[in-house]
Chain A
Amino acid sequence: MSELRMGVGGPTAIQVARDKEDVLVGDEIVRHRLSSRVIHWLVAVFFLTALFTGMAVWSPVFGWMANLFGGLSVVRWLHAWLGIAFVAAFILMFVAWLGDMKFDQYDKKWNVVEYLKFTDKDDPDVGKYNAGQKFFFWAAGLGALALLLSGIVLWWPAEFSQGLRSASLILHDLAFIAFFVAIVGHIYLSTAAEPGTFGSMTRGTVTKSWAKTHHPRWFRDVTSRK
């Protein structure tokens, strides 16, 4: 496997990670190529700003968040445009990641309760993404669609019927609450809970031991290639 070491003279992991992923470079594996990471952070920025502007309108408890953006009157239209930007970025991410997110036979035996126990008994058949991550991907897609459709109705209240506006109010609310809960879990699991994960979204790489622990089947696929 000497060609994979690429130690002296060869490209470093971060250089490889600009346009390749799922490859081994020395002791690191490239998990997310640069374009993937940029798209992810675009989604994240628009999501969080849309979240904070939305929360300011949602309850006076979070009204102070509006001050970060210039007050409630600004937030009223800024939120809508940030929402559009979020959905646009999300569509890019959805298309880019779709191939890896299809459920397969290995996902059936993945158990969320066992997973959350954080034991050493890892499911050896977890691929690049576990079933929970795939579920999050699809649920977020559905949630983004719900936010978009209900958001359009709430944006132009005069154009829609009272019933549609009322339904949109509830749908937008429920989707927001679900997204808030999901994003807390997403941030927790990708930082404090599983050290070594965050780097996959910054410099794009993970260590081999990380890959073997969390995504053993993916680790085997990547290391056996070539």
Chain B
Amino acid sequence: MAQGLEIRRSSATLRGGGTGLRKLPTVAKYIDTSTCIGCKACEVACQEWNDLPLAKTEQVGTYQTLPTMTANFWNLIKFHEVETQEQGLSWLLRKDQCMHCDEPGCLEACPAPGAIVQYVNGIVDVDPEKCIGCGLCETGCPFDVPRYAQGTSKMAKCTLCVDRVSVGLEPACIKACPTGCLQFGDKATMVETAMHRVQQLKADGFAQALYYDPQGVGGTSVITVLKHGDHPEWYGLPKDPTIPATVSVWKRIIRPIGFVAMAAAIFGAIGHFMAFGPKKPKDASKQTGGEV
């Protein structure tokens, strides 16, 4: 748990997680995919700051360090090659990590009280002591982010360097970026920066440019500027991410119905007993008095 940060939301908690008194601006990472050069400095900084072990790189035929994020590798520059009629060949690089959703699907799906928390500044974090390693957060996440530690099955992901942010430092990945394509600040400022960059891209001929801040999950604390904003899937991003309906249906509809059904069964049995009483065997003497 980060010092000095109050909880905004906490998993599997019936009555809220924090006092609601302290308000802090939501923080955000700004990622400009159009100026990322794929140097992977952010990957290294992430590994270093978070004391994650060295990852053996895997050659997958692209400029990507690993095929996917792992429990020991939370920040991966994704590489996508796209060829279009108008733009020709593009190499699209996007820094992939936890999106820190305003309405986190992982937190919604998590059954362990306090295992996934959202701080007042919007950062979504995992408390490994409370995580039970069930994997339901993966079902709740529309971005395929949660990974599980070998052996313990505990979930691990980007913490948005909450330990740095809570003492006034910027995340390690931001600190390491040499081109300025990564920035960090309060979300309003990051959105402003993104809007400005989108205007520039549009002027440069990328008419579909936009910044990715999907409202289906209430917006994210990762603002990603995309040249081809009409095709987020080219960057490996879902078009309209939402918390899977089944997770919401489970918690908001089926579970209340379940409570009612369980209570109805118990009170139904008691009520039946009171109304109809026990059914005792018919007078035993009649039978035993017979032939036997």
Contact A60 B14 (CB under 8 A): yes
Query: CB < 8 Å: which of A63, A170, A196 contacts B254?
Result: A170
Contact A1 B277 (CB under 8 A): no
| Chain A residues within 8 Å of B247, by CB | 166, 169
How many residues belonging to A are interface residues under a CB distance threshold of 8 Å? 49
* Residues 242-281 of chain B, each 1 if its beta carbon lies under 8 Å from chain A, else 0: 0011110110001101110110111011001100111111
Decide yes or no whether B216 CB sits under 8 A from chain A: no
Nearest residue (CB) in A for B257 is A177
* Residues 23-46 of chain B, each 1 if its beta carbon lies under 8 Å from chain A, else 0: 000000000000000000000000
Contact B262 A177 (CB under 8 A): yes
| Chain A residues within 8 Å of B134, by CB | 57, 76, 154, 157
Decide yes or no whether A167 CB sits under 8 A from chain B: yes
Q: Which of B277-292 contact A (CB under 8 A)?
A: 277-284, 286-288, 291-292
Given A180-B258, A188-B273, output 9 extra A-B contacts at Cβ < 8 Å.
A27-B288, A57-B111, A63-B113, A76-B134, A177-B254, A185-B265, A193-B272, A209-B283, A223-B292
**With A60-B113, A209-B281, A213-B281 as given contacts, are A184 and B269 in contact (CB-CB < 8 Å)?**
yes
How many A-B pairs fall under 8 Å by CB?
141
Surface stretch bound by B, among A34-42, A86-94, A115-123: A115-123
Q: Which of A135-176 contact B (CB under 8 A)?
A: 154, 156-158, 162, 165-167, 169-170, 173-174, 176
**With A117-B276, A120-B282 as given contacts, are A167 and B246 in contact (CB-CB < 8 Å)?**
yes
Query: CB < 8 Å: which of B139, B258, B262, B279 contacts A157?
Result: B139
Q: Chain A's nearest CB lies how many Å from the CB of B252?
A: 12
| Chain B residues within 8 Å of A116, by CB | 272, 276
| Chain B residues within 8 Å of A154, by CB | 134-136
Decide yes or no whether A181 CB sits under 8 A from chain B: yes
| Chain A residues within 8 Å of B269, by CB | 184-185, 188, 192-193
Q: Which 8 A-B pairs have the closest CB atoms?
A: A157-B135, A166-B246, A209-B281, A209-B284, A188-B269, A184-B265, A181-B265, A118-B276
| Chain A residues within 8 Å of B259, by CB | 59, 61
Contact A162 B284 (CB under 8 A): no
| Chain B residues within 8 Å of A173, by CB | 250, 254-255, 258
Contact B136 A157 (CB under 8 A): yes
| Chain A residues within 8 Å of B249, by CB | 170
Nearest residue (CB) in A for B283 is A209
Q: Chain B's nearest CB lies how many Å from the CB of A110?
A: 15
Decide yes or no whether B112 CB sits under 8 A from chain A: yes
* Residues 185-207 of chain B, each 1 if its beta carbon lies under 8 Å from chain A, else 0: 00000000000000000000000
Nearest residue (CB) in B for A57 is B111
Distance, CA A188 to CA B245, complexed state (A) = 36
Decide yes or no whether B12 CB sits under 8 A from chain A: yes
Distance, CA A177 to CA B288, complexed state (A) = 44
Distance, CA A196 to CA B13, complexed state (A) = 44
* Residues 50-61 of chain B, each 1 if its beta carbon lies under 8 Å from chain A, else 0: 000000000000
